Amino acid sequence: MKIHRNIALGVVEGLRQILEKKQALRPSLSQLLKQNRRWGSRDRRQLGEAVLDCIRWKRTYAYLGNLDSQSEYFFWELLGIWMLTKEMILPEWEELSSIKELKISIPLNLETTDRKIRTSLPDWLDVLGIENYGETIWEKESQSFNTPAALVLRNNTLKQDSVSLKKQLEKDFTIKSTEVADIPQALVLDKHYKLNQNPLYLNGAFEIQDANSQRVAHWVNPQSNHLIVDACAGSGGKSLHMAAMMQNQGRIFALDPHPIKLDQLKIRAKRNGISNIQTLDTHTPDFFNQQQGTADVVLIDAPCSGLGVLRRNPAAKWHMNPEKIKKVELLQRDILQKNAPLVKKGGALVYATCSIFPNENQYQIKHFLETDLGSEFELIKEETYLTHQTGFDGFYLARLEKKE
């Protein structure tokens, strides 16, 4: 196996955009592929794999090659180390001349190599993990960040049940899947497939959604007569799930400050056969006054560090830092204060993040409950779902109820 120079140039450009310019991983990759439509499917797969691996293992690769991150050819050298891990012969390229004679040995020794190097973590994240989870659990969790994430579907129960979807996927498309015992609509596929042109997907039979992410709607427990507010809806994966559980009855207000994401939600809702979702810009005048005390449940799937989903987005560990997380925490507090008044007496507030760290989760809920507004609520239950324990994305969930 070898890599062509035009693909290598694409990998280096992707690394520069994501690691140097701090651009989002998936949009950067998508844009790179759109700009180079002449690449074949094998080349596109190879580029995606190389970019993801170089980002995921950046610190490990830098250690193996004794690389200088300030070097002019740092991103080329990361790619070169990736080639060596794949047992490729290094091309005679000037950018790789400094590592031409390099011999590497992997995997790294568990006892003699620091965990930060072995699992490719920034120092601050390793310290945060140890402080919150201790050596034993953090060792397992940090290792799990580097395991491939499964492709998980959520079947749309407005179209068909999970059993029939599972059978149809295998019969018509030879796609094998496994059900998840305690997550009713989840199907874990045996491998990754390109599904965006699959007829079942185009007909709204399923959405792609991690299994632990699917737990969120079940914690909301929406009923067909409920009024639900999805306060941070994004492109609406959880709104769609709740709408299906409500049998397309009741009403969901899906709020987000980004119109592009709300437009995506409208497209997805139409594909799913869903009509009980109303999209609103977060800054819509008078909404919060008019709807105060009316919602059966308010879901706050809060903006967060994303440090529970490093398997899918390894760039987050290089984009985030303690200062940025502090700003995220302040935003989370503001969102709680802004949206909690929408809950009616006897109603519920469900708070979720795809982070596993208490400063964004348990401590936020504790702080909220100690405020004047929070004193009207009581914590019913909370749970942190770790990747190494569940096999899925890291998530935190809390359910609070407003006192009668």
Shared domain for 326 and 383, answered yes or no, is yes
Cβ neighbours of residue 28 closer than 8 Å, sequence gap 6 or more: 14, 17, 18
Provide the residue range defining the domain that includes 237.
213-402
Cβ neighbours of residue 397 closer than 8 Å, sequence gap 6 or more: 215, 216, 219, 350, 351, 352, 382, 383, 385
Shared domain for 161 and 272, answered yes or no, is no
pLDDT, tens only, 250-306: 999 999 999 999 999 999 999 999 999 999 999 888 999 999 999 999 999 999 999
Mean pLDDT computed over every residue of the chain: 95
User: Model pTM greater than 0.85?
Assistant: yes
When divided into structural domains, the chain yields a total of 3
Q: What is the pLDDT of residue 39?
A: 86
pLDDT, tens only, 79-137: 999 999 998 999 999 999 999 888 887 777 777 889 999 999 999 999 999 999 999 99
Shared domain for 387 and 244, answered yes or no, is yes
| C-alpha torsion sign, points 332, 337, 338, 340 | positive
Residue 394 lies in a domain: yes
Q: Is 232 a catalytic residue?
A: no
Examine the fold and report which residue of 192, 208, 224 is the final residue of a domain before the chain moves on.
Answer: 208
Shared domain for 251 and 360, answered yes or no, is yes
Residue 128 lies in a domain: no
Shared domain for 321 and 388, answered yes or no, is yes
